[in-house]
Amino acid sequence: MMRTRPLKVALLGCGVVGSEVARIMTTHAADLAARIGAPVELAGVAVRRPDKVREGIDPALVTTDATALVKRGDIDVVVEVIGGIEPARTLITTAFAHGASVVSANKALIAQDGAALHAAADEHGKDLYYEAAVAGAIPLIRPLRESLAGDKVNRVLGIVNGTTNFILDAMDTTGAGYQEALDEATALGYAEADPTADVEGFDAAAKAAILAGIAFHTRVRLDDVYREGMTEVTAADFASAKEMGCTIKLLAICERAADGGSVTARVHPAMIPLSHPLAGVREAYNAVFVESEAAGQLMFYGPGAGGSPTASAVLGDLVAVCRNRLGGATGPGESAYAALPVSPMGHVVTRYHISLDVADKPGVLAQVATVFAEHGVSIDTVRQSGKDGEASLVVVTHRASDAALGGTVEALRKLDTVRGVASIMRVEGE
């Protein structure tokens, strides 16, 4: 039997995502009520600009006092889509203290202060859900946290930022340079006016921290994630990748060490074979590849950003939290029992593609090979071309640690025959 008294929802933020959440709550009210077992009512909307016309939202619900809204005491669920650290953090903890559960899309806050927020939710017996914080509409957090709860996840490898994937895909398919591809992404609305958070990897790093924490039952903060942007990727890098049968993606990679004693989390551009499922992820789409012991290899794919996709994830969490509310229960909280150490980037082992500008004369290859050998880095393939006294030398290594490769490159720079290191890129997905 359906409960007639509605569950009251407070919405913090009414931008692209928030307005879509409000629209779906209104237009799909009957379906949501049937799925939850009680109607849901939008009880208030906190915004910064109250005079802006918001179609479909009763102006009487709009307020600039978000604190008063979450303190009302009759709010069942607070939906936070304002982003940033403050005032979102204070509003969420205040909501817990005044009896509300929280649904958030705030990746930066969850990555930085997830442990403290989970502790506050547990203290007050409330839910904290944030499916929309990672990969938009793609169901990812709940499968990791619930569906794979009985399995052991060893690796999460993914494209989790649509802006960077659009840019890299354009560079790959059209031969455009970085700036040209960025300008196209901006014109089409895929890139912000200031794209720094995307192209420098900050957005993906926050998502990697969240995914690593859930996958490995270990607290992984944003500061634990190695981050490298993709602004230095060139058309020449794509040409080299194609010669290897690869393409280039900005990847978030979370791994359990082979001995199981530690984990790593990193974001950086990487070459991946065209045969890998992630190589075919085009335009602004996201995809995440999960490797676990029992389930094997799983891939989650779909639109990773935008008002409607993100709102879909928010509403999915809202339904789950409302069901918990009716049942007098809470869903899964933080699982950090493993408490594994997070290893620094220097310990990460992978393959590398190194492009060197060298003098075109006998003995150069032998000198370079000697440096690699002295640092314990095994060479897989070498390709050399050049004329008029200058040459390009491309070396692809077998698996080596980041620290060993760093020492190798430092020694290479000291050789008189090496004019410069044109590019260094990791090779993943093999």
Give the residue numbers marked as catalytic: 207
Find how far residue 425's CA is from the centre of its chain.
Answer: 20
β pairing state of 128-129 and 77-80 = unpaired
Query: Which of 48, 54, 126 has its CA nearest to residue 88?
Result: 48
Angle between helices 29-36 and 307-327 (to 10 degrees): 40
Q: Residue 227 corresponds to which tokens in the numbers above?
A: 């981050």
H helices within 226-306, ranges in order? Answer: 235-243
Residues 408, 378 contacting (CB under 8 angstroms): no
Q: What angle do CA 365, 366, 370 make, to 5 degrees?
A: 115
